[in-house]
Structure 1
C-alpha cells in the first residue's frame, strides 16, 4: 500500500483517481487543486507517489514537478494530461516525472503507473 497525493484542479478528476487507487488498496493522504498546494502538501505529507495534473491555476504541473524535485530528487511523480499535451508531458518527464497517464483515466493504466513508480 502506497501513500498517494492527488493534485488536480478538477474535483471530479481527483475523485476518479482516488476511487481507482483506493480500490487498488492505496491510501490517499491528501488532495490539492494547484501546483503550489502540491509543493506544500508534498513537504508536509511526504507521500510515496504524487499524481499531478499539468494544466492548473497558480502554478502548473510542470513548475510543480521542478519545485518538488528540487526539494526531493527521489520524489515519484506521475503526470496526468489530456490528449494534445504531449509537449508538456515530455517537458515534465525531462524535469523528473517518472510516468504519465492520459485523461479520461483508464483504471488498469493508472494502477500500472503507480505500481511501476513504487518499484
Structure 2
C-alpha cells in the first residue's frame, strides 16, 4: 500500500483527495495546509508520494517541491493545481515533479496518475 502526504490549503480538497485515494487502496499518512508544514511532515513521515498544490500561503508548491527534492532526490511528487499554465507545468517537471493533475479532477484521473508511481 502506497503512503501519501496530501498538501493543499483548502480542507475540502484535502478531504476529496483523501477519500478518493483511500477508496483505491492508498494510505494517507498525513495532511498539510501549506508548504512549510508539508516539508516538516515529509521529513518525519517519509511518504511514498506527496501531493502539492501550487498556490498556498506561507510557501507555494513549486518552492516546496524544490526543497523536498533537495532533501530527498528520490521523492515522488504529484502536483495538483487549478493553475494549468504550460510554464508552471514545465517548471514543476524541471524541478522534479513526476506528474501534474489539473483541478477539478475526477477520481479515475487521480487513481491512474498515482498508480504510475
* Partner of residue 5, structure 1: 5
Paired residue total? 117
After superposition, give the CA deviation of every residue in 1:35-83 in whole Å (9 maximum; x if it has no partner): 1111111000000000110000000000000000001000000001114
Contact 1:81–1:89, Cα closer than 8 Å, also in 2? no
Gaps of 5+ in 1: none
Contact 1:5–1:28, Cα closer than 8 Å, also in 2? yes
TM-score (norm 2): 0.96
2:53 corresponds to 1:48: no
* Partner of residue 114, structure 2: 114
Displacement after TM superposition at 1:111 (Å): 0.7
* Partner of residue 18, structure 2: 18
Contact 2:54–2:83, Cα closer than 8 Å, also in 1? no
* Partner of residue 70, structure 1: 70
* Partner of residue 34, structure 2: 34
* Partner of residue 102, structure 2: 102
* Partner of residue 90, structure 1: 90
Displacement after TM superposition at 1:102 (Å): 0.9
Contact 1:80–1:100, Cα closer than 8 Å, also in 2? yes
Matched residues in 2 for 1:44 and 1:83: separation?
Answer: 29
* Alignment root-mean-square deviation, CA: 1.0
* Partner of residue 81, structure 2: 81
Gaps of 5+ in 2: none
